[in-house]
Structure 1
Amino acid sequence: MIPPVLSVQGLNVAFRSEGTWRRVVEDLSFDIGPRETLAIVGESGSGKSVTALSIMRLLPAVNARVEGRITLEGRDLLALPEARMREVRGNDIAMIFQEPMTSLNPVLTVGFQVAEALVYHRGLDRRAAEAEALRLFERVRIPAAASRFHEYPHRFSGGMRQRVMIAMALACRPKLLIADEPTTALDVTIQAQILELVKMLQEEEGMSVLFITHDMGVVAEIADRTLVMFKGQAVEQGATEKIFHAPRAPYTRALLAAVPQLGSMTGHARPMRFPTVDIMTGGSDEPAEVPDTVAAAERPLLEVANLVTRFDIRSGVLSRVTGRVHAVEDVSFTLQSGETLALVGESGCGKSTTGRSILRLVPPSAGHILFEGTDVASLDKAALRAMRRRMQMVFQDPFASLNPRRTVGAALAEPIIVHGMAGKAEAQERVASLLRKVGLQPEMASRYPHEFSGGQRQRLCIARALALEPRLIVADEAVSALDVSIKAQVLNLMLDLQAELGLAYLFISHDIAVVERVSHRIAVMYMGEIVEIGPRAAIFESPQHSYTKRLMAAVPVPDPARRAIRRGLSSDEIRSPVRAPDFTPPPRRYREVSPGHVVQVEDSVGAG
């Protein structure tokens, strides 16, 4: 029998909280063989990431207790001295973390950080390390890799930062790759490429993979075996095909029932609630269409016309402008009260910048933004602050948008108090209500952000956005960090609030199966431009632009039988949004396919 690369036996992990030890992983055992991929799935807070951190010995010894046996090719990792363990990390075991911004040093360029790993672990000189790092950047499809090699992490989108982390993890060709939600921040096309890259590296290097995810489509596509965790325990594990086709545990059945599937909205005119499931019995309810609250006869709540947002690139002693990033280029759309318009496209295509420009979190270069008939660009600081009470945003990276030095209760209460909506005592009651709405307990208000899992932090950000009872919410990957069961609950909450309050959502997402379910209209973005926009049914049932078709084809399907299908690594280059300072975008031509369904003509200069 071939010995496993990694063996975990009787793993128990406990954290000390308020003088008592609280067990978060209990009697967990599993093996990972050579070239094998084991997926660990479960709700946020179930112990998935803690298991990975225990293997890497990255839990703080002062308040964490790890017991059991963890062996890598026969070596007991828990018995190794710290100096030897540092050699194992990055060299024999590499890890891709869930939140790339907290893993990258903000004061060092991304190229330097990847090259540093190669210098330390593989003994390359600086020039050779930079050349290899650049090759890795190109391999994970970072556009204009050579020109962006010396940029800092804050200049990258969330998906781009995750690609840098993946390049760093793969740099030393480890025996075991631990991937903690590595594709959460990625759009479907790049996700498909990363999954294909991991498969290819397994074949070339015999690398084993421990893949932590909440996306059952990803599990079906990449995992040989699956382990399902709930409240720190393994409730089921076995071959992925068996888990999907004949799940034994009620919780596993509940997870599978909550997975949104592309094409499920055919024949439905309005957004539809997600099926909610009982995690103890696995039973699910029948989803229902959401009451239509779109008031098409009224003036649109939000009107965006010819929006342009560019960022200057300066260099030299005099900091002259040597180029510009054309992040958003001539974008126009409207949004009615009670309507959801989804922006979809690859990371770096301008989706998030569009949302930030609308709230004037980044200054637009040109165009008009009217909210409730008022020109947002004309507002002074006080008026803009008052307007932002009615325009809220849920950011992509939950940890970066929460103050690590304040309790989450204080973070939720602050905007309520600052805007004069309630006094301190009443604000605390509202905080408790908000926490319940997003599936958290009121007593969690006294905790700090680092005491929550990634999915729980995202729920906190959604609660904060709802605190001021806004009319428009710009949701930038608002549910991307959530596991499927909680994602269903939060999206149902958003749909219910929309039906009750007439909220408008600008829903920015790479999860097309979710987008199909919650949207009234969809805008597909590529290279800062909208290449196709129209009603949800028209886009999904009759996509016209080749890029729209490519996005839909890349969606992972929760069917393990498709795991053997090889997509092949694309050799297509992603065009760079960087242009010369005097560059003038060429005119675009559009055609109307059906009422409200408009597509960019692909023979336009530079299109597609």
Structure 2
Amino acid sequence: MSDAPILSVKNLTTSFLVDGRWKSVVRGVSFDVRQGETVAIVGESGSGKSVTSLSIMRLLAPMSSRIEGEIILNGRDLTKLTDKQMREIRGNEASMIFQEPMTSLNPIFTIGRQISEVLTRHKGMSKTDARAETVRLLEKVRIPNASSRFNEYPHQFSGGMRQRVMIAMALASKPKLLIADEPTTALDVTIQGQILDLIKILQEEEGMSVLFITHDMGVVAEIADRTIVMFRGEQVETGPTEDIFNRGQHPYTRALLSAVPKLGSMQNHKWPTRFPIVDMKTGTAEEPIEVSGTVAAEKAPVLKVKNLVTRFPIHSGLLSRQTGAVHAVEDISFDLFQGETLSLVGESGCGKSTTGRSIMRLVQPTSGEILLDGHDVLKLQPAELRSMRKSVQMIFQDPFSSLNPRMSVGTAISEPFIKHKLGTAKQAKEKTADLLEKVGLSADMASRYPHEFSGGQRQRIAIARALALDPKVIVADESVSALDVSIKAQVCNLLLDLQQSLNLAFLFISHDMAVVERVSHRVAVMYLGEIVEIGPRAAVFENPQHPYTKKLMSAVPVPDPARRGIRRGITNDELKSPVRKLDYRPPVRQYREVSEGHLVQVA
């Protein structure tokens, strides 16, 4: 590693034009990135980390943004270059990978053409040479059958494979600097591990410098040589990653680290445990408190799912005949008791969200039984179904898309109460005020609209709306996965507190293993539409038996810089396709009992 910086940022201040006045969102940021080094910028939403990266690449709208200070890349100050000169820099000397590859790739062009364009434009290659180099790049980022996938379109690739395509495109011109802005946030934990390993390996092979933007401290620990901590637009601490983690000085740094849930931290806890709430200004954290058990497992389950199958037909050909089916959920069974949290975990495409939607009858199951308080949900008529939904409610991942932007939050919360004719308008207003207080907001916020709230507050509003009908069961579908670490802790604590006070049963759907370990009584691991392992939380986490469960656990990034040299070993395995031909007959699965209530699918 050379001492000469590839990138030197000095006193960077970025402002945006708001209502005719300049408002600074990044103030006085300075750092260097040396050759072959990985520097991470870490902080929560609104800290200014992504604006910093966009400022370096000069990707902000010039009419409404202003960049001050120096951004020196290979001896040239990027703030003084023309737009044409910057276009030459981008891709050639510095490249960027964004969080969501589907929005960065053009859906109407093949991925081969999109990568080749970089080579013909920046390197002046012929089409033939560009094609050969593109195939080599796709092989380099471990895309199987690269030559045969050259002419495929972005929608034909999974999320992890699309991110690999973005990395191949970013590396096409052999840049000296790669800026990766939250490149793994939207990915499943096993795919995230593969992408992190891939970036490390390519960095070693190419001698490239990496500026890595993230809010995940586990990722920072695994990939960064040095770390910059940002808070409200300012750089509050900089240093070697090991020093930041072990000897962090700033209260916000310590708070950020304290708020990260760590896999394996529940070994001495019998019951689900509240997250330590951290004061982001002082860095102090309260001690975690166990939420005492209220599960009455000897009684009849409030929800009983038996041999549930949900398939989606695939039609093709001129006459649009059914040629196959997506086997989204395949013969799964479980019970859920009052006051209990059962978590469904697995990667995207494993069927966990479809299970939740099938229980709600938001999608129509193919066969099986769903018994809610003894009533078969699948046999209910429309009027009975509406009545059933008073007993089971759903919280979705993105509260902004599940709240009507034209409706005040008070109206949104009271609407189910009024629609189900549970009381007068005055009672609905009183109920709404009570629910807002219950979820940690104030009653006078009822007149505001969704855009006036933060992400965490919007999720609290969604929870309040789910509680409006006094349900017995709540299906929480990735309800905290989009939240910053400190907000995630607050919302999880809220759910645990509500469960204890209202005796709620939660079906908690998530891919975040550390959160699941903390909030669950029992855990079911799903793979390709099937439950491969189910049991008490301690049994599954402390004694995982199925190979897929072990794979999920080992892929979780651990916030420990001592693991920085570890390689998981890249494989090209992604979740296999659940698409089956019409004549497919699924095998009858057998389970063995490892310990009381801990069942594992026999291969």
**Superposed pair shares fold, TM > 0.5:** yes
Q: Which residue of 2 aligns with 1:575?
A: 576
Q: Which residue of 1 aligns with 2:212?
A: 211
Normalised TM-score (structure 1): 0.85
Q: Does 1:115 align with 2:112?
A: yes
Deviation, 1:446, is: 4.8
- 2: CA distance, partners of 1:339 / 1:356: 19
236-245 or 329-338, which deviates more = 329-338
2:289 partner SS: coil
Q: Which residue of 2 aligns with 1:525?
A: 526
Deviation, 1:10, is: 1.6
Amino acid at match of 1:118: I
Normalised TM-score (structure 2): 0.86
Structure 2 contact 433–446 (Cα < 8 Å) conserved: no
**Deviations, residues 211-265 of structure 1 (Å, cap 9, x unaligned):** 2222211111111111111111111011001111111111111111222222211
Structure 1 contact 462–478 (Cα < 8 Å) conserved: no
192-201 or 423-432, which deviates more = 423-432
Structure 1 contact 227–237 (Cα < 8 Å) conserved: yes
Amino acid at match of 1:237: T
* Aligned-residue identity in percent: 57
**Deviations, residues 379-409 of structure 1 (Å, cap 9, x unaligned):** 4445444544543434345666566xx36x6
555-564 or 567-576, which deviates more = 567-576
2:455 partner SS: helix
436-445 or 353-362, which deviates more = 436-445
Q: Which residue of 1 aligns with 2:415?
A: 417
Q: Which residue of 2 aligns with 1:64?
A: 65
Structure 1 contact 532–548 (Cα < 8 Å) conserved: yes
Q: Which residue of 2 aligns with 1:201?
A: 202
Q: Which residue of 2 aligns with 1:503?
A: 504
2:408 partner SS: helix
Deviation, 1:372, is: 3.4
Given the superposition, is the C-alpha separation of residues 523 and 468 from structure 1 closer, same or farther in structure 2, using an over 3 Å criterion? closer
1:269 partner SS: coil
Structure 1 contact 432–445 (Cα < 8 Å) conserved: no
- Provide the aligned length of Structure 1 versus Structure 2: 586
Structure 1 contact 328–354 (Cα < 8 Å) conserved: yes
- 1: CA distance, partners of 2:139 / 2:528: 19
Deviation, 1:533, is: 0.2
Q: Which residue of 2 aligns with 1:487?
A: 488
- 1: CA distance, partners of 2:181 / 2:330: 34
Q: Which residue of 1 aligns with 2:601?
A: 600
**Deviations, residues 268-298 of structure 1 (Å, cap 9, x unaligned):** 2110111122223322211110022323244
Q: CA RMSD in A?
A: 3.7
Structure 1 contact 272–287 (Cα < 8 Å) conserved: yes
Structure 1 contact 33–208 (Cα < 8 Å) conserved: yes
Structure 1 contact 305–369 (Cα < 8 Å) conserved: yes
- Give structure 2 stretches of 5+ with no counterpart: 121-125
Deviation, 1:64, is: 3.4
Task: Name which of 453, 462, 465 aligns with 1:464.
Answer: 462
1:5 partner SS: strand
Structure 1 contact 137–164 (Cα < 8 Å) conserved: no
**Deviations, residues 520-579 of structure 1 (Å, cap 9, x unaligned):** 000111121111100011112222212212222222222111101222212556433222
2:5 partner SS: coil
Q: Which residue of 2 aligns with 1:35?
A: 36
Structure 2 contact 336–342 (Cα < 8 Å) conserved: yes
Given the superposition, is the C-alpha separation of residues 57 and 436 from structure 1 closer, same or farther in structure 2, using an over 3 Å criterion? farther
Given the superposition, is the C-alpha separation of residues 458 and 285 from structure 1 closer, same or farther in structure 2, using an over 3 Å criterion? closer
Structure 1 contact 91–172 (Cα < 8 Å) conserved: no
Q: Which residue of 1 aligns with 2:232?
A: 231
Given the superposition, is the C-alpha separation of residues 465 and 269 from structure 1 closer, same or farther in structure 2, using an over 3 Å criterion? same
The correspondence of residues 437-476 of structure 1 with structure 2, limited to 5 A, is 437=440, 445-446=448-449, 448=451, 456-457=454-455, 459-469=457-467, 470-476=471-477
Given the superposition, is the C-alpha separation of residues 431 and 308 from structure 1 closer, same or farther in structure 2, using an over 3 Å criterion? same
Given the superposition, is the C-alpha separation of residues 360 and 491 from structure 1 closer, same or farther in structure 2, using an over 3 Å criterion? same
Deviation, 1:517, is: 0.9
1:267 partner SS: coil
The correspondence of residues 64-103 of structure 1 with structure 2, limited to 5 A, is 64-89=65-90, 92-99=93-100, 103=104
Q: Does 1:190 align with 2:199?
A: no
2:304 partner SS: strand
- 2: CA distance, partners of 1:220 / 1:480: 20
- Give structure 1 stretches of 5+ with no counterpart: 603-608
Q: Which residue of 2 aligns with 1:170?
A: 168
Greater Cα radius of gyration, structure 1 or 2 = 2
- 1: CA distance, partners of 2:138 / 2:520: 37
The correspondence of residues 314-325 of structure 1 with structure 2, limited to 5 A, is 314-325=315-326
